[in-house]
Structure 1
Amino acid sequence: MMTWLMHHRRAIATTLSQMVSTPVASLFTLFAIGVALSLPTGLYVLLDNATQIAGSMPAQTEITVFMRDDASADDIAALRQQFKVMPGLTETRFVSRQSALQTISKQMGMTELAAGLPKNPLPDAWIINPAATDVDAIKRLATQLRKLPQVALVQADHQWAQRLDALLALGREMVSLLAIILGIALLAISGNTIRLQIITRHAEIEVSRLIGATDRFIRRPFLYFGAIQGLIGGMIAWGVVSLGIAMLAPQVSTLGQLYASHITLYSLDLTHGAILLAIAGSLGWLGAYMAVGRTLAQIEKKH
């Protein structure tokens, strides 16, 4: 057991000394790995934030019924009675044009401008909560509401939610594709770096084979080199993403305040950060394993 630990400790020490002996080349390689990993990771974090923001929005579907400009108080009262007996409605709320203008002008900070308008441009409206939640039932209810007298426009908010879900799903697919492409690039970067190490130690590898060293013994320092290289690249990617989120958070928060909404961006937590490091280290290890395996196969053919 002590011999096994000593061999692994020696392999790790050899790996770190090789990185320190070529600091410029090692730094360039590590930053290349970090940047490659930060792209899909950053997009994943932004998509996760967008999903959380979308999930914090009201889940209850609402249908907005806008009245015509010439609708009178009697028309509004008649609609109120129809809504009471219409099936499929759980709640109705009337929003007068005066109340809507006051709310919008207060949220946008344009109270004085709204007070100077010669005429209120907003219509009276009804906010309706349907009992059904499936899309087909909501479409049928919206069609029924459009046929009511003095109704100018009917809007169902399920459409924007469907579009948002479709965009988020597309974004997740794009992030997955980008992660696969950059994962392959990371394998290539790690493999090329290991091949350079193998070239400088090719004679040492051949001598080790001649004196009976096993493939596992020969691979060990290179595998540690690839894994440690991937881990450090993953740490750099974690730092780049965290720094990017920290720079964007104040601007996003300010933008949310302009729309009377509280938006907070979250960076990678410890769990996702650990997953990132594990993936980065595994890809570095795999790239090194493939590169060393190819070299050992070539040496085997010679002998």
Structure 2
Amino acid sequence: MATDPSRKPDAARGARTARSPWREQAESWLTHHRKVARDSARRLWRTPVASLMTWTVMGVALALPVALLLLLTSLQGVSAGWESSARVTAYLNLDVSLEKARGLADDIRADGRVSALELVDREQALAEFRASSGLEDALDYLQGNPLPHTLLITPEESARSADGVQGLVQFVGGLDGVERVQVDLGWLQRLNAMTDLLARAVWVLAVLLASAVVLVIGNTVRLAIESRRDEILVAKLVGGTDAFVRRPFLYTGAWFGLGGGVVAWVLLQLSLWWLSGPIERLAGLYRSDFSLNGLSVDGALALIIVAMLLGWLGAWVAVKRHLDDIEPGDVAGG
């Protein structure tokens, strides 16, 4: 049986016709979103002073916790370097012989938390002290060598923390023949406790300031809703859905967030440029490599995205709260 060739084009046209409503709806949806986004941006540019004030408030609120987090990151990096250079010094009893000191060194070196160990015998220590102190004549009057054998212990990489070094100190201090173990970790533990407390305080401050940003955007969008009350009533009278009416204000909140994020990034860069010179000079006086780290490209993008989300959230809260109060039935009833 012969097949009519004209049916294939008709079927293809039918398939295109069946798909075209979905394509038209998608194109219409995208076109409307682009138009609403442009209109929202134009409305902000028509009031540059008010928009700039809102952006500045958002920028300051966002820049403050981010700056503190960057400071904390720099401090934690420096403290990590101090932890990596921590070394445990074990002083043996004066009556411990050199052979026993070598045995103790072998026992400690076999521990998995020890990376390297150096034995400084008492004669070597006295010779170094004599050469460096300039007290050769006074040392000649000593009856004997007052210095003990000393073990200089370098912890393994995994044990170079306050808790790891503390455990190693307890292990070495419990060995027979060890009189005293010295490691200056008290200041490091205090620094870690302070940075941990400051980190939690910064996160609390970030949450509070983020809430303030949401409230600021919400109040700004609420004023925009009131100023466009008649326009909203007309849109609802002709059948506009809540999503249709809500969309311009959500874009307004997102644009406010974008501007606030950019202002926050500019404030951070200016602050870093202003403070980097004095901080480097101060760190140089203390022979430290401390420096403030700025935001990376990913960090700047994350800041702007978070700001836009906060702006969108503030607008959504305002629209949800106040848009339901504007109903055509109220006007008709009046």
CA shift, 1:161, in A, is 3.5
Residue by residue, what CA displacement relative to the aligned partner does 1:45-84 show, whole Å, maximum 9, x if unpaired? 11111122223335264223579xxx9xxx6x96765542
CA contact (8 A) 2:229 2:326 kept: no
Aligned to 1:141: 172
Aligned to 2:7: none
Query: Structure 2: which 5+ runs fail to align?
Result: 1-25, 139-146
Larger CA Rg, structure 1 vs 2: 2
Deviating more after overlay: 178-187 vs 288-297: 288-297
Q: 2:322 aligns with which of 292, 295, 301?
A: 295
CA contact (8 A) 2:257 2:309 kept: yes
- Give, in whole Å, the separation in 1 of the partners of 2:126 and 2:292: 35
Aligned to 2:283: 256
Q: Which one-letter code corresponds to 1:139 in the other structure?
A: Q
- Give, in whole Å, the separation in 1 of the partners of 2:128 and 2:33: 73
Scaled by the length of structure 2, the TM-score of the pair is 0.71
CA shift, 1:241, in A, is 1.3
CA shift, 1:188, in A, is 0.3
Q: 1:192 aligns with which of 192, 209, 219?
A: 219
- Give, in whole Å, the separation in 2 of the partners of 1:32 and 1:256: 33
Aligned to 1:8: 33
Aligned to 2:267: 240
After the TM superposition, which residues 44-83 of structure 1 pair with which residues of structure 2 at under 5 Å, given as runs? Answer: 44-57=69-82, 59=84, 61-64=86-89, 82-83=100-101
- Give, in whole Å, the separation in 2 of the partners of 1:43 and 1:51: 12
- Give, in whole Å, the separation in 1 of the partners of 2:177 and 2:233: 83
Residue by residue, what CA displacement relative to the aligned partner does 1:121-156 show, whole Å, maximum 9, x if unpaired? xx99864336794333423534669963xx6xx432
Q: 2:204 aligns with which of 177, 192, 208?
A: 177
Q: Alignment identity in percent?
A: 32
Q: Which one-letter code corresponds to 2:272 in the other structure?
A: I
- Give, in whole Å, the separation in 1 of the partners of 2:290 and 2:127: 29
SS at match of 1:64: strand
Query: Structure 1: which 5+ runs fail to align?
Result: 104-113
CA contact (8 A) 2:250 2:312 kept: yes
CA shift, 1:164, in A, is 3.0
Change (3 A) 1:269 1:254: same
Q: 1:276 aligns with which of 278, 303, 306?
A: 303
Aligned length: 277
Aligned to 2:103: 85
Aligned to 1:41: 66
Q: Which one-letter code corresponds to 1:42 in the other structure?
A: A
CA contact (8 A) 2:36 2:251 kept: yes
Scaled by the length of structure 1, the TM-score of the pair is 0.77
Aligned to 2:141: none
- Give, in whole Å, the separation in 2 of the partners of 1:33 and 1:98: 65
Q: 1:20 aligns with which of 34, 38, 45?
A: 45
CA contact (8 A) 1:142 1:156 kept: no
CA shift, 1:193, in A, is 0.5
